[in-house]
Homo-oligomer: A and B are copies of this chain.
Amino acid sequence: MNIKEAYNWLSNNSKEIARLGAIIELAAWDQRTCAPEKSHGNRANQIALLSKIAHSKGVDKKTKDALDVLKNNDFSGLDDSLAGANVKVWLREYERSSKISADLNEKLALTSANGEAAWESGMKNGDFSGFYPVLKELIDLTREKAESIGYKNEPYDALVDEYEPGITTSDLDTLFCGIADPIKDLVLKISDKSSDLLNYNHDCSFDIEAQKSFSRQIVDAIGYDLAAGRIDEAVHPFTVGIGPGDVRITTRYNPDNLSTGIFGSIHEAGHAMYEQGLHEKAYGTPAGSYASLGVHESQSRLWENMVGRSEGFWQWAFPIARGYFDCLQKVSSEEFLSTINRVSPGLIRVEADEVTYNLHVLIRFEIERELFRNNINVEDIEALWNEKMQKYLGVKPANLKEGAMQDVHWSAGMFGYFPTYTLGNIYSAQLFKAAESELGSLDKMFSEGIFKPLLGWLNKNIHTHGAIYGSSGLIEKATSNPVSSKYFIDYLKSKYSNF
């Protein structure tokens, strides 16, 4: 193989792996939105097979040969200015994948696909005794995975690196350290006051069909391309990228609380606009892939919170909402705004406000870290969880469903994923500040229903760069500053100083 052949082979292989990944996403989307109940075992086998094929493509001997050809070259002979960046990511991915045996990979895929069904039935009937053995197996397999991959200081490093390439447990310790105390202080300060506020939700009921139309109008207005996507309902909302021209979101609606549906929709639309903004021609290569889950989450949180919960946004959107929901006629825009920004420690992460949210993540991070330091086991999770909830948030779960087993992630074998939620928050504040300093007052634009400048800025500074700069490199390039949690803390302090 010469350089050109090697590069073309890797590009093509990378695209095929991406396509297989996209089909796995389709299969998972279908399982959560459409598939009949008796299909689950069969679906797990299908996903495991696709995962096996994708893995074997990634560790193909020809991949190694091609990478060997390219490793020490300057790529100047190639007709692709991003060749060097692509090769760097491929090398990293190969290093990682080739250490996981085909057998372990398939076991993980199959157990994860089955785990979700076991967890779901636990959530249905409140009894997790059927899920615990699967969870135990998933943790064992994941420990084995971490040992296979290797790590700098501790096994958990190998896990977070999958979702946020380059980051370590110790980096996360530092970041959480920078936000935990200021947030705890803020929570104490705000929740004292916010308990006095009115809550319009108490007196209203929101028709589901009207909520669907309203959410659709809003995500369309902020820039989610519905001709390249669709909106469905799911118990646990998520976004899937099924390839160019097909990025779907799901949401759920609560007749008693407008926030669930509208902020769920805006959040997922934020994710989706990231994928819709990726460089289509580079699809399947690092230059056309998302940078990390943290960066992904920065997009969803930015749209959900910095845009969707802002005063300007509701100056524009509140009259629209009133057109859909009669009962909002008797609610003042002030009351509405204070309700959607209410800070109140609770039990459920996905229902948490933007301040306490990160304490929920912190608890999960600390428990995962202990799990993979082999300091605790499945049986110890519940007690530790409840202790931390009490300590950080002052609340106590009555059972596993509203406690340690509330999230889907572990059932799908996704350990090391939670910290990316807080990284997303941190990045989002830093990005929003940089965008505003370049574009001028965003709140004013939102109040006029103008979102294109912000989306354009994110397209240009984040989306089109794909994964070639890594997450911290990308944030630094976009904001001209190294990643820091101070922007997020500043944002929270400034926003909630009014409360």
A interface list, Cβ under 8 A from B: 16, 19-20, 22-23, 26-27, 30, 34-43, 45-46, 49-50, 53, 225-230, 242-246, 248, 283
Contacts and interface: CB of A to CB of B under 8 A. Distances in A.
A460 B242 CA distance: 41
Nearest to A53: B53
A30 B36 CA distance: 14
Contacts of A37: 227-228, 245
A41 B16 CA distance: 15
11 contacts: A20-B49, A26-B30, A35-B246, A36-B226, A36-B230, A36-B248, A37-B227, A38-B228, A38-B244, A40-B245, A45-B243
A246 B36 contact: yes
Nearest to A50: B23
Contacts of A40: 245
A245 B246 CA distance: 27
A46 B21 CA distance: 10
Contact of A229 (B36, B41, B225, B283): B36
Q: Residue among A38, A41, A50, A227 with the most chain B CB within 10 A? A: A38
Nearest to A49: B19
A50 B50 CA distance: 9
Nearest to A245: B38
Contacts of A35: 242, 246
A229 B37 CA distance: 8
A220 B19 CA distance: 37
A34 B38 CA distance: 21
A243 B229 CA distance: 26
Given A27-B23, A228-B39, A49 B245 contact: no
Contacts of A16: 49
Contacts of A22: 42, 46
Contacts of A248: 36
A225 B248 CA distance: 29
B36 A19 contact: no
A197 B35 CA distance: 44
Contacts of A243: 39, 42-43, 45-46
A418 to B, nearest CB: 30
Contacts of A41: 244-245
A192 to B, nearest CB: 47
Contact of A245 (B42, B53, B227, B245): B42
Contact of A242 (B39, B225, B226): B39
Contacts of A283: 42
A16 to B, nearest CB: 6
Contacts of A230: 34, 36
A227 B40 CA distance: 11
Contacts of A228: 36-39
Q: Residue among A34, A40, A50 with the most chain B CB within 10 A? A: A34
A43 B49 CA distance: 19
A73 B46 CA distance: 32
Nearest to A244: B42
Contact of A46 (B19, B30, B38, B49): B19
A242 B42 CA distance: 9
Contacts of A245: 36-42
Contacts of A19: 45-46, 49
Contacts of A226: 36
A494 B22 CA distance: 54
A36 B240 CA distance: 13
